[in-house]
Each structure stands twice: as structure tokens, then as C-alpha cells.
Structure 1
Amino acid sequence: MSDNAARRIHVIGIGAGSPGHVTAEAAAALAEVDVFLVADKDGSKDELVAVRRAICDRFIPAEHAYEFITVPDPKRGPDADRDSAEYAQGVRDWHAARTDAYVRIIEGLPTDAVVGFLVWGDPAFYDSTIRIVDAIGERIATAVRVIPGISAFQTLAAAHGIVLHRVGEPIHVTTGRRLVDEWTRAEAADLSLGTVVVMLDGHLHCRELAATHPDTVIHWGAYVGMPQQELRSGRLADVIDEIVELRARLRERHGWVMDVYALGSASAPVHTGGRLA
């Protein structure tokens, strides 16, 4: 099948919530899209859908008509109660159900309609849109373009005014469910992970390190890049209880919370009140 017959799909990184995060490349790609497909998670994150709509309205020329379709998101289940194998299978099933839903909609669109997926942050970091689009491509001929965005941990570092890595040392990016195990294994092998950036940690597993590594410095942020942004930093043992309590209050207030944090050595700078201490 020729490229002209392939469905054009744009996977667009839109940053961590601020319209200022949208690059010129992303803005140009937005203006080419005819139909945006956005997952609707039981209405619990209407604010995130609203932000996506606002970004489209801001960057797409008024003369370009486009459609915004929210797609009910399949249920994924209680990830916290699953072991690694069950978690991986649950994610695969979820991706398959998402793929089915998107294929049904795309097959009903005009053949020349450009489809867009708006990715929070950057499509390469802890987001599965590219995988799902690849699965769509196994069933529909596609021509896919991926546009990078500013990730949450980039925004976190900028908000705190820090460099994530120390000179000559690595950065380790992981998830909350893997944090303690990877930290422990690295110590046992006498290896340095460098600064550890933690994403997708709804349970703040770093609490388990506070007693044994109290001087570890945490830089934490919720809703980074958005008007309701909250930042905290300091010795892990000193600030973790405050962060846990604040996160719970924010989730209750907004109905959702997205946060990210970095763990560094005791010599890492701490951002306080708009300056470095």
C-alpha cells in the first residue's frame, strides 16, 4: 500500500501543562491535525482534557476546523495489588483494549483526516502512546510522526533551579514500584545510581528510604508547569511527612494528582523560596 493511502497520525508531546511548553514544531503539527483522540478516564481528569483543549485552541489557527473526540478509557485494575508479572499483563491487556477502541474510531473517519494524539510531557518517557500507535499500525496502514515535548522531570529541575546530575555521574529514571528494590540492589553491588528521578509513584515509596537514608535530598513537585504547581525540597527525613500529607490534600482537592521527584546526595542544592540554599 502506498504512503498516500496510509493514515497520517501525529503523536505530539505538549509538555507538562503550560502552553509555554509547546514547541514551535509541536504547534505546527497541531495545526495539521483534523481529529484529536483523547482518553476519557471516567471524567476524573476533566481538567487535563480541558488543558489539552485550551492548548489546541491557542495554537491551531481559527480557520482550521478540527474535532476533539474523547474515548472512554478501558479499566486497568488495581496495579498496587499486582506482582510484576500480573502488572505487565494488565498493562498489555489495557493497551490492547485501547487499541481496539481507537481503531474503531479511526476506521470511521474520512481517509484523508489526520489523527492526533496529545501526549502529556514527552512521548518517550513513561507514556505508551507510541506503543499503542504501533499496534494500530499492525491493523491499519499508518504514517506516524512523533514530536517531542518537555517532560515532567525537566520541568521539575527547572522549577527547583537544579542540575539533575553531578559532574561525571549518571541519572537513573525509574518508577515508584521499582525504587526501593533498585536502590537496594545498587547499594549491595556498590554501584552509584546517581540522581534518581522517580515517576508514577502514587504511594511515595521514597518513605521507605527515609529511616535508612535520612540525609538524601528530595526535590518534589506536583502539577509541575501548571498554575497549581506545588514544590517541596529538603532532607528526605525532614520533609517526607509534609509531602505525603500535602499530596493527599491535593488529590482530594483536585480529584487527581500528578507528581514527580528526584533523590540526590546530601550535597545537592536545595531550592527554597525562589533561590538556592
Structure 2
Amino acid sequence: MIDLNLIGIGTGDPDHVTQQAIAAMNAADLILIPLKGPEKTELAELRRCLLAQHLNNPTTRVVEFDLPERDADGAPYDQRVSDWHDAIAQAWKTAITEALGTEADANVALLIWGDPMLYDSSLRIAERLGHRMQITPRVIPGITAIQALCAAHAIPLNGVGAPVTLTTGRQLRNHGWPDGVQTVVVMLDGDCAFRALDPAGIEIWWGGCVAMPQERLVAGTLAEVAEKIVTIRAALRAELGWVMDIYLMRRTA
């Protein structure tokens, strides 16, 4: 039986890692580090740095493995994501069995950006892995990108007694501002979907690579700072080969 620990590690700052997460790392027999291609080697390096700082168990093995890429086109989006998750589950199984064998009882850990419950597919992939081998999943919560963004800008997440909608760039672009809410948090936006909105009465707080050394922050009215965000985001992507960003928007009363 494999105890599969999905460990939330925050958004890039080693100090985000909780004591519970550190204990789980040091209790692991095997820690898996996914490699997402040469343009994202820095993400793997950040995981290596976290382990260098927090892992002190000499018997814990650290194994890196190649993460399958999602098909860019062809099948509908939902089908491509489903096929991709199947491929990742198989990659997890292969990495585990090659490192530990097929009959092992062991603790295995993966380090998950932010928190595994929020716009991350690790739990869904773990469920698929459970169809391939005996596992018991365990989640160690981490600081989310939403928490890091609000802390970086020193703002509250919500208005007084008001709801908040968490959504994606795809949803914002296709459906516009969600009905009945003052505050919207947008994740997984590769196209700066806020440009599709009427900017009147909207303030935005944006962060790229929040809590990492490359962190960039922009805040202001959407009309005034939208193009500045687009420019900074493009520069970060050109510099790093990738960019992780998030933003909060609020309509004025």
C-alpha cells in the first residue's frame, strides 16, 4: 500500500512551507519531482531548493520524472484534459514502481504549488492512480496564490459581508463578469481576459510570480493599468519561458 502525500508548498517562498509539510517531507520514503520541459526547469529547481532547506532525512529518495504534455489541439478541451490526467497518473505509477518496486509499502510525496485543493489537478490524478495501484491519499494544505496575492497587496479578499467568486480566465472571457458579486479572483488566465471587460468602475490587483524572487505587482483602476499588466506579464514570460499570475478585481459600489 502506498501512502500518497500531496504537500502544499505555497507559491515559491521557502518560508511558506508549514511545519506539517516539513514533517511529511521527512517522513517520505520517496519524493517525486515532475519535470515540465526545459522552459520550466526553474519550477523544478524551486522544489529542489525547498528540499535542500527543509529535508534532513538521509533515507528519503528524491526522484525526478518527465511530466506528459497536454495535447494542444484536436479533441475538445475537456477530453484533452482527461487524457492528460490519465497520462500523468500513469507517469506517477511508473516513477513509483521503478523506484520502489511493485509490492512496496511506502510513503510517497509530491510537492504541490499553493494548495492541492485549489485549481490543481493532483487530487483528480490521484483518484485515477488509485485505479492502477493501491494508494491512500493524504493532503497537507499550503498557502494559496490567493492568500499570497492579498498579502502582497495588503488588501482583504472580500468586501464587508460580501461573497467572492473564484474563476478562470477562460470562464471570464467566455461569460463575462459573474452575476451578483462584487469581487472576482481570476486564475489560470493565459490571455489577460480582463481586457474583454468594460473597465468602468473596476479596480484590479495583479501579481506575477507572487512570493518568488521575480515577483511583480500592479494595482489600480482597470482602465489605467490593464495595458501595463499585459506588458509586464509578457516581459516575465519572455524572461522565464513561463509565468504564473493571478489577479483580484472589485467593482466599486
Instruction: Give the TM-score range, shorter chain.
Output: over 0.9
Structure 1: runs of 5+ lacking an equivalent: 1-5, 268-277
Residue 52 (structure 1) aligned with residue 42 (structure 2): no
1:127 to 111, 120, 125: 120
Q: Secondary structure at the match of 1:36?
A: strand
**8 Å contact kept, 1:117–1:129:** no
1:204 to 189, 192, 202: 192
Matches within 5 A, 1:167-206: 167-184=160-177, 186=178, 191-206=179-194
CA distance in 2, matches of 1:143, 1:73: 22
Matches within 5 A, 1:78-227: 78=72, 86-108=76-98, 109-110=100-101, 111-184=104-177, 186=178, 191-209=179-197, 212-227=198-213
CA distance in 2, matches of 1:115, 1:222: 31
Partner of 1:275: none
Supply the AA of the counterpart residue of 1:206. F
Q: Secondary structure at the match of 2:211?
A: coil
Partner of 2:230: 244
Q: Secondary structure at the match of 2:68?
A: coil
Partner of 2:241: 255
CA distance in 2, matches of 1:214, 1:39: 42
Residue 28 (structure 1) aligned with residue 16 (structure 2): no
Deviation at 1:157, TM superposition (A): 0.3
CA distance in 2, matches of 1:20, 1:77: 35
Q: Secondary structure at the match of 2:76?
A: helix
CA distance in 1, matches of 2:149, 2:21: 21
1:46-92 deviation per Cα after TM superposition (whole angstroms, max 9, x unaligned): 1111111111121122x4332222221212133xx68xx81111100
1:25-66 deviation per Cα after TM superposition (whole angstroms, max 9, x unaligned): 1111111112222221112211111111111121122x4332
Supply the AA of the counterpart residue of 2:216. E
CA distance in 2, matches of 1:251, 1:214: 28
Residue 17 (structure 1) aligned with residue 12 (structure 2): yes
CA distance in 1, matches of 2:175, 2:156: 22
The percentage of aligned residue pairs carrying the same residue is 42
Residue 73 (structure 1) aligned with residue 67 (structure 2): yes
**8 Å contact kept, 2:114–2:142:** yes
**8 Å contact kept, 2:25–2:31:** no
**8 Å contact kept, 1:235–1:266:** no
Extract structure 1 runs of 4+ deviating beyond 4 A: none
Deviation at 1:138, TM superposition (A): 1.6
Q: Name whichever of 21-30 and 68-77 sits farther off.
A: 68-77
1:85-140 deviation per Cα after TM superposition (whole angstroms, max 9, x unaligned): 81111100000011111112222315133211110000000101111111111221
Q: Give the root-mean-square deviation of aligned CA atoms.
A: 1.6
**8 Å contact kept, 2:164–2:182:** yes
TM-score, structure 1 normalization: 0.86
Partner of 1:7: 2
Q: Secondary structure at the match of 1:30?
A: helix
The count of corresponding residues between Structure 1 and Structure 2 is 250
2:34 to 27, 39, 54: 39
1:175-222 deviation per Cα after TM superposition (whole angstroms, max 9, x unaligned): 0000134435x4xxxx4223100001010000111xx23330000001
